[in-house]
Amino acid sequence: MTATTEINNIISKENLVYKKTDVLLDNEMHYCPGCTHGVIHKVIAEVIEEMDIQDKTIGVSPVGCSVLAYNYLDIDWQQAAHGRAPALATATSRLMPDKYVFTYQGDGDLASIGCAEIMHACNRGENIVVVFVNNAIYGMTGGQMAPTTLEGQVTATSPYGRDCATTGFPMKMSEMVSLLPGTRFVTRQSAETAGAVRKLKKAIRKGFENTREKKGLSFIEIVGTCSSGWKLSPTQSNEWMKENMFPYYPLGTLKDE
Amino acid sequence: MAKFKGAIVVDTEKCKGCGLCVVSCPTAVIELARGVNGKGYHYAHMANPDACIGCSSCGLVCPDTVITVYRAKAS
Ligand SMILES: Cc1ncc(C[n+]2csc(CCOP(=O)(O)OP(=O)(O)O)c2C)c(N)n1
Ligand code: SF4
Ligand code: SF4
Ligand code: SF4
Ligand SMILES: [Mg+2]
């Protein structure tokens, strides 16, 4: 048997082990090559498919690169003003308590302009899932410093590296919200390897299961990359993330009640 | 010999050539092509198909979810 015929024999329906879930639409994503947003979208879509909640899930997209998330996941969506996704999600989940409501927010959106909204939604323990994508930068607007930018990190607005004496220190949002009694599940994950993607999927599933059980707020941070903002290739970005982000933003679950 | 033989199909027109699948593959199956797709990206392809074990690592890490994975028991 030639190699080509062997491959053609393997490529058949009964041998299929991994394909794009139908909850992801066919629209090509506008994200830069290698952007973590794409992986996170896919994982959320896979969880929605596995839990069979496609017609019961409502996402709230942010301002940031993921503003157009509604083009990619085939569920109901709203799009919030910058940082206000937790407020919109609060109203939605209170009015429709049987829906699975989640916000999807970047670090600029959640930790900077939306810092008040997320703190109070967490403190109230709204019955929602928060997906927080921490790439340590404002990706969409061209790579400016975010509250999560690391000390010394070069961005468009910190060309000599972030100076904590004048701009404060990188904010550890997961640690902060884990102190609030309203949060039930707080975890920090990543998505750069197959193992990390599998773990992230379990965490997101747990979040939606908490919603089903009316447990309150699940906060899922994902440490990700922004190769355009960081001015590295996608593979170099993963290495930079492991070396610089993981020590300051350690992975793992901070709270599970 | 590996217990499983695998194969992947890349939707080459939608691939953005990020290379994350290349580094995720435990058996060095994937390379970026010398040629480019319609968007100008060096798309991923199976350069070393015999080594594929169908583990799905490449599919899981692909941000654009353009890889389909197949796996069969090795004969
Ligand atoms: C009220 C308001 N202020 C500022 C902006 C400009 N703006 C758009 S996106 C963004 C930050 C996005 O960064 P982040 O939330 O980290 O998302 P990313 O693109 O990195 O995923 C800012 C400041 C805006 N659109 N609206
Ligand atoms: S700018 Fe950064 S966050 Fe935005 S799509 Fe590109 S890589 Fe992703
Ligand atoms: S991970 Fe996906 S988009 Fe990136 S090179 Fe591989 S197939 Fe192409
Ligand atoms: S399925 Fe596994 S072995 Fe095959 S190409 Fe993908 S990562 Fe490599
Ligand atoms: Mg960001």
Residue nearest to atom 6 of ligand 3 (CA): B21
- Longest alpha-carbon distance in chain A: 68
Number of domains present in the structure of chain A? 1
Any chain B CB within 8 A of the CB of A42? yes
Q: Among A63, A103, A144, say which to mutate for ligand 1: greatest number of ligand atoms within 8 Å of CB.
A: A63
pLDDT one-digit tens code per residue, A4-16: 888 889 999 999 9
- CA nearest neighbour of A131 among A106, A112, A108, A111: A106
Closest atom, ligand 2, to C-alpha of A31: 5
Rounded CA separation A140/A137 (Å): 9
Rounded distance from Cα A54 to ligand 3 centre (Å): 26
A98-152 tens-digit pLDDT = 999 999 999 999 999 999 999 999 999 999 999 999 999 999 999 999 999 999 9
Looking up residue A250, the CATH number of its domain turns out to be 3.40.50.970
Number of H helices and E strands in chain A, helices first, is 11, 8
Instruction: Write out the residue range of the structural domain in which residue A234 sits.
Output: 33-256
> Can you give the pTM of this predicted structure?
0.98
The identity of residue A122, as a single letter, is C
* Predicted pLDDT of residue B1: 62
Tell whether A4 is covered by a domain.
no
For range A184-206, the mean pLDDT: 98
Chain A residue with CA closest to B4: the answer is: A10
- Measured by CA distance, the residue closest to atom 6 of ligand 1 is A141
| CATH number for the domain running over B4-73 | 3.30.70.20
Cα angle, residue A145 at apex, residues A84 and A103 outer, rounded to 5°? 25
Residue A79 lies in a domain: yes
Query: In whole angstroms, what is the distance from residue A52 CA to residue A71 CA?
Result: 20
Domain spans, chain B:
4-73
Residues in B closer than 8 angstroms to A238, CB to CB, are: 20, 23
Q: Which residue has the tokens 């927080």?
A: A132
